[in-house]
Amino acid sequence: MSEHTVTAFDDDLKFITRKVVEMGGHAESMIARAIAALVKGDKALAEAIVAEDLVLDSLQYELDERIIVILAKRQPVATDLREIIGAMRMGNDLERIGDMGKNIARRTKEIDDIVHPRKVVRGLEHLTNLTLEQLKEVLDAYVNKDVQKANEVCDRDDEIDQIYTSLFRELLTYMMEDPRNITFCTHLLFCAKNIERIGDHATNIAETVIYMVTGKSAISTHGTRAE
Amino acid sequence: MNEMTETATEAAVNAAASNRSVKMRGDKVGVFYGEKQALFDVDLDIYEHEVTALIGPSGCGKSTFLRCLNRMNDTIDGCRVTGKLTLDSENIYDPKIDVVELRARVGMVFQKPNPFPKSIFENIAYGPRIHGLVKSKGDLDEVVAISLQKAGLFEEVKDRLNEPGTGLSGGQQQRLCIARAIAVSPEVILMDEPCSALDPIATAKVEELIDELRENYTIVIVTHSMQQAARVSQRTAMFHLGNLVEVDATDVIFTNPSDPKTQDYITGRYG
């Protein structure tokens, strides 16, 4: 896309892209470390992550403020408008992802040092890795305006849902085997649910990217928005 | 996979358009000023009871096309129009057509308000009188009042109908010109940048008026203000270098235009 005659408008658009990417990077790192803290039982790290959510919130605030000013001053249309509305939506999704990271970190602080069933923790790590990969891919798709890649992210969400479901069953089994597992497994179940939600947010972002680039709304057949 | 679906607005506009009939149709319209060709094979339908906005950079041919619609180009030396232009399926360039009558059916409002140097009353009364549309003084009074009412000006000027039209404010003068156009009961009203000489408040009043007039008339407006095209029209046609680049529902043009030239122009990336 060529540049605007008014170059300050291009600066505005670059600013919001940069903010979204910055939020994305921050959200990714929060989730990765929240799960690491959970696995290792690192309460100090968990504490730090809870505090970090404020950083993400203030990034979203900066993004929204700039968008409001752009809308008021420039009355964007067509691709510009879609890009700006898209950034606003993505800001929301990324902020929610940060909240999920904060929830997981809070839980880590609650969990007593019980012996973790190793296998379940590995399952959760696997789920997290896949979800983080989705997040990374969708942010790449955003930066490169890559519809193909965004579509692939939407398609892969099923996989995350399936892993979540099997993790759910596994956790139930552990709870039935030994009631002493219930507390820990319930915490883990909520964490898994949080991760699964992050997958949904990644899909939302993918759909936003598709809208931004094509101007058509992508109704995902996965129905993740409805969930 | 993701399904691409037609948005609600697109569907609504398409459905609405299919119910409306074509009031004027341009079929391969070309315009030459001497040797120089200013318009190339323009196919454009103007729908009844819609506002069609013509946009594009200076010199793109949008005003040239507008002026073809009531044969204003006839007054320019060396100007030649090719192709076919119809009003209710009737070729307006047919030699049998009475141009004066055509211009009564297809009225025009210009960029700069240009009231006659006469009273407010006479400004409106002139058209109906020369076209023989009124029989008595009573009829004429009524036409003047109704025209001023339709143009949203009556309340502001009813006590000074005998004062000169040129004494009104710019916005009032423009609405006076619209009232003058309405007075001869046109079917189509052409507007060539009707708000470019007006302040934002007067502009808003004229835009509100355009929206109301749509119910009874068909309107074609040339505007340099993208926001104005977006606000007042239902259909937007984009011109560039004498060609019609794209025409679509205004909601589509301003959110998801098909042609990169439209995209660049409306987002301020042109040239």
- For residue A130, the enclosing domain spans 3-222
Do the domain assignments include residue A88? yes
For residue A199, tell me if it sits in a domain. Answer: yes
Residue of A nearest to B252 (CA): A78
**Chain A residues inside the 8 Å CB shell of B230:** 77
Identify whether the C-beta of residue A214 lies closer than 8 Å to the C-beta of residue A147: yes
Average pLDDT over chain B, rounded to whole? 91
pLDDT tens figures, B215-241? 999 999 999 999 999 999 999 999 999
A201 occurs within a structural domain: yes
Structure tokens at A219: 């109704």
Rounded distance, CA B15 to CA B9, Å? Answer: 10
* DSSP letters for A59-104: HHHHHHHHHHHHHHHH---HHHHHHHHHHHHHHHHHHHHHHHHHHH
Give the whole-angstrom CA distance, residue B239 versus residue B55. Answer: 6
CB B271 within 8 A of CB A5: yes
Q: Residue A227: inside a domain, yes or no?
A: no
Tens digit of pLDDT per residue, chain A (227 long)?
688 988 899 999 999 999 999 999 999 999 999 999 998 889 999 999 999 999 999 999 999 999 999 999 999 999 999 999 999 999 999 999 999 999 999 999 888 666 666 777 889 999 999 999 999 999 999 999 999 999 999 999 999 999 999 999 999 999 999 898 898 899 999 999 999 999 999 999 999 999 999 998 876 444 444 34
Q: Is the pLDDT of residue B243 over 50?
A: yes
- Write the residue in B4, B267, B271 that is nearest to A78 by C-beta: B267
CATH number at residue A184: 1.20.58.220
Q: Do B257 and A78 touch (CB under 8 A)?
A: yes
Instruction: Find the helix or strand (DSSP H, E) in which A32 lies.
Output: helix A7-40
- For chain B, the 3-state helix, strand and coil shares in percent, each to the nearest 5, are 40, 25, 30
Q: How many domains does chain A have?
A: 1
Averaged pLDDT for residues B102-118: 93
How big is the CA angle at B163 (ends B158 and B169), to the nearest 5 degrees? 80
A225 touches chain B (CB under 8 A): no
Main-chain dihedrals φ then ψ at residue A42, nearest 5 degrees: -85, 95
B 176-215 near A (Cβ less than 8 A): none
For A31, the token pair is: 């989730």
Q: Is the full-model pTM beyond 0.95?
A: no
| Helices and strands (DSSP H and E) totals, chain A | 6, 1
A217 vs B257: CB contact, 8 Å cut-off? no
Complex-level ipTM? 0.79
